[in-house]
């Protein structure tokens, strides 16, 4: 039997690419110079799209692939795929939940601690000779005993909260409803009230049209000049213009961000700020987790073409 044709939207590591190439005809969209011409040529043969969370699919891709059956996302976030349009056409969508939860939570907590204690700046102080030349590093503000607000207590939010309660932080959270698995944590459903309560606002919300700019100017104003925000979800959850203005005017203390509106080309205003910690959207970026994510993409593709149940369906 001939191998199914798969449109591959972005790069995968060698340990994923080799087994994918062995099982499927992988058509590498990201390597094509003329992407529209490439889609017109291969589109009619494509049965599956393998993409990454931040790349998703475009309308042009979906239109060019009339025989598409499944979209497999390497990532938990599927906001860059038009799931409604896929469902209407009977196209399955899968993602890679669970396997990345703890790594994403680890990075969120690391970012909170690193930004609060100015780990990057302090390291630079040692490296550039400031320690010897200028003396003691400026004091930073304590982490333990403060209040954290988790915006979105799903799988990742829960793991962040669990870790931070080990640092003796008071945990509050916002979600659509109170969670029975969080009896010791304070439920504050309104994001403005949560921000007003918190010293650290950690955004762990799955992104959708409904959550776009849920962290608004009003939320940032409520967080206030002693407050910090940490985003390990999607840039669209925060009004980035309002965030930049708040950081520039120091109406919030600081931010630690793994995601940006036009990543990887972020707004240059971020680079001018010394109260923001910048990360290259790599919260799931460990060997162990990325290998599990790649396996899940492959296993969903294999299950689909074998007529078996999908492992991690979105629709
Ligand atoms: O951003 C990463 C993901 O959605 O897994």
Tell me how far the alpha carbon of residue 302 lies from the centroid of ligand 1, in angstroms.
22
Tell me how far the alpha carbon of residue 75 lies from the centroid of ligand 1, in angstroms.
4
Please report, rounded to a whole number, the percentage of residues in the chain having pLDDT higher than 70: 100
5-99+288-305 and 101-278 share one CATH topology? yes
> Span 101-278: which CATH code?
3.40.50.720
Name the closest-CA residue to atom 2, ligand 1: 75
Quote the pLDDT of residue 101: 98
With a 6 A CB cut-off, is 284 part of the ligand 1 pocket? yes
With a 6 A CB cut-off, is 53 part of the ligand 1 pocket? yes
Quote the pLDDT of residue 183: 86
Residue-wise pLDDT tens digits, 209-258 = 999 999 999 999 999 999 999 999 999 999 999 999 999 999 999 999 99
Catalytic positions, written as ranges: 234, 263, 281
Angle at 38 between CA 32 and CA 40, to 5 degrees: 165
With a 6 A CB cut-off, is 97 part of the ligand 1 pocket? no
Q: How confident is the model over 12-35, as a mean pLDDT?
A: 98
Residue-wise pLDDT tens digits, 137-192 = 999 999 999 999 999 999 999 999 999 999 999 999 999 999 999 989 999 999 99
Name the closest-CA residue to atom 5, ligand 1: 75
With a 6 A CB cut-off, is 156 part of the ligand 1 pocket? no
Tell me how far the alpha carbon of residue 129 lies from the centroid of ligand 1, in angstroms.
38
Q: What are 232's two structure tokens?
A: 């390990």
With a 6 A CB cut-off, is 101 part of the ligand 1 pocket? no
Q: How confident is the model over 281-291, as a mean pLDDT?
A: 98
Pocket test for ligand 1, best of 9, 54, 211 (most atoms within 8 A of CB): 54
With a 6 A CB cut-off, is 75 part of the ligand 1 pocket? yes
> Span 5-99+288-305: which CATH code?
3.40.50.720
Tell me how far the alpha carbon of residue 5 lies from the centroid of ligand 1, in angstroms.
25
DSSP for 15-48 reads HHHHHHHHHSEEEEGGG-SSHHHHHHHHGGG--E
Q: How many CB atoms lie within 10 A of CB 133?
A: 8
Give domain limits for the chain: 5-99+288-305, 101-278
Tell me how far the alpha carbon of residue 285 lies from the centroid of ligand 1, in angstroms.
10
Q: How confident is the model over 263-268, as a mean pLDDT?
A: 96
Q: What is the mean pLDDT of the chain?
A: 97
ipTM: 0.94
Tell me how far the alpha carbon of residue 211 lies from the centroid of ligand 1, in angstroms.
16
Would you say residue 1 has pLDDT above 80?
A: no
CA distances from 212 to 207, 216, 233, 299 (A): 7, 9, 12, 32
Please report, rounded to a whole number, the percentage of residues in the chain having pLDDT higher than 90: 99
With a 6 A CB cut-off, is 198 part of the ligand 1 pocket? no
Name the closest-CA residue to atom 3, ligand 1: 75
With a 6 A CB cut-off, is 54 part of the ligand 1 pocket? yes
pLDDT confidence bin for 297, thresholds 50/70/90: very high
């Amino acid at each position: 039997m001939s191998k199914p044709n798969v449109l591959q939207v972005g790069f995968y590591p060698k340990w994923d690419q080799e087994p994918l190439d062995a099982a499927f005809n992988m058509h590498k969209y990201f390597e094509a110079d003329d992407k529209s011409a490439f889609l017109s040529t291969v589109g009619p043969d494509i049965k599956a799209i393998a993409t990454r969370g931040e790349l998703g699919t475009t309308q042009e891709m979906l239109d060019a692939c009339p025989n598409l059956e499944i979209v497999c996302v390497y990532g938990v976030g599927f906001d860059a795929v038009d799931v409604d349009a896929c469902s209407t056409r009977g196209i399955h969508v899968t993602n890679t939940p669970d396997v990345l939860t703890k790594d994403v939570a680890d990075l969120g907590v690391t970012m909170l601690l690193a930004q609060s204690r100015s780990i990057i700046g302090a390291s630079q102080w040692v490296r550039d000779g400031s320690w010897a030349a200028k003396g003691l590093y400026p004091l930073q503000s304590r982490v333990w005993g403060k209040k954290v607000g988790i915006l979105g207590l799903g799988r990742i939010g829960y793991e962040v909260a669990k870790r931070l309660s080990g640092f003796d932080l008071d945990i509050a959270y916002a979600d659509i409803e109170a969670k029975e698995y969080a009896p010791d944590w304070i439920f504050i459903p309104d994001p403005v009230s949560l921000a007003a309560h918190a010293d650290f606002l950690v955004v762990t919300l799955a992104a959708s049209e409904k959550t776009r700019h849920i962290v608004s100017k009003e939320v940032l104003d409520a967080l206030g000049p002693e407050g910090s925000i940490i985003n390990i979800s999607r840039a669209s959850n925060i009004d980035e213009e309002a965030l930049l203005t708040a950081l520039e005017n120091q109406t919030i203390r600081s931010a630690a961000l793994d995601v940006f509106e036009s990543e990887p080309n972020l707004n240059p205003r971020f680079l001018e700020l010394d109260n923001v910690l910048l990360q290259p959207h790599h919260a799931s970026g460990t060997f162990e987790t990325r290998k599990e994510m790649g396996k899940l993409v492959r296993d969903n593709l294999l299950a689909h073409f074998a007529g078996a149940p999908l492992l991690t369906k979105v629709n």
